[in-house]
Amino acid sequence: MSALSIRNLNLHHGLLHAVRDVSLEIASGEVVTLVGANGAGKTTLLRAIAGAHPPSSGAMMLDGKDITTIPAHRRVGMGVALVPEGRRLFTQMSVEENLELGRMSGRPGPWTIDKVIETFPNLDARRKARAGTLSGGEQQATAIGRALMSNPSVLLLDEVSLGLSPIAVERLYDSLGALMKSGTTILLVEQDLTRAMRAASRVVCMLEGRIVLEGATTNLPREKVTEAYFGLNRERAMA
């Protein structure tokens, strides 16, 4: 059984058809990267899985249970956690206070503040610091840690490297390495195609709301993914 199953999902922003008839299966423990140009529908899809964007049609299943109409706060309790683009931290609260918020779902599991700090050691000296005073890399680590504190079975990561320095991105992905091998199911949106394909076992490419390419990262040449990313395959087909 898939950890996450999406069937014929359609999502709108008003009159804009943002996600078009998307179907996707993600196995338990699998790390899948979702790539595509700006406006491809990646963030909208992640928000829909988290319950923050209602679908126009289609269905979403979590561990075989239909979650299509279940509100976002209940999905967190069922094991879905989203790290949104932009982090969305409570800037006047400390790192530890932001992390504690992740426990509010009441979902049992292994994640504690100490385990988050062990995973992201750059936060150790910043436990009591207000989130608004952190560097970009520290803020992103805190946002991921807050999601982990809810003990998710499916973790949605939206543009975790956006706006970070190359050194901060490298440090962040070094910390995520162990997490990606831990058995947590991860759907990762990442603009850095090389890094995305290195981190995941499978790549899914979206273009104008549709999935246009999907396959194991070991079997798909970067050039083929790049062509799908920019719609070059479709242009050749129409020529």
* pLDDT tens digit sequence for 132-148: 999 999 999 999 999 99
pLDDT of residue 237: 43
**Rounded to a whole number, what is the largest CA-CA distance in the chain?**
60
Share of the chain above pLDDT 70, in %: 97
Q: Which domain holds residue 178?
A: 2-238
Q: What does the alpha-carbon distance between residue 113 and residue 123 come to, in Å, rounded to a whole number?
A: 10
Domain count, the chain: 1
Q: Using pLDDT thresholds of 50, 70 and 90, give the confidence band for residue 233.
A: low
Residues ≥6 apart with Cβ < 8 Å to 180: 31, 186, 199
Q: What does the alpha-carbon distance between residue 212 and residue 237 come to, in Å, rounded to a whole number?
A: 13
The answer on pLDDT for 37 being more than 70 is yes
Q: What is the CATH number of the domain that holds 124?
A: 3.40.50.300
Taking all residues of the chain, what is their mean pLDDT, rounded to a whole number? 92
- The structure's pTM equals 0.92
Both tokens assigned to 17: 């058809």
Q: In sequence order, what DSSP letters do the residues of 131-152 get, joined into one string?
A: GGGS-HHHHHHHHHHHHHTT--
Q: Are 58 and 6 in contact (CB under 8 A)?
A: yes
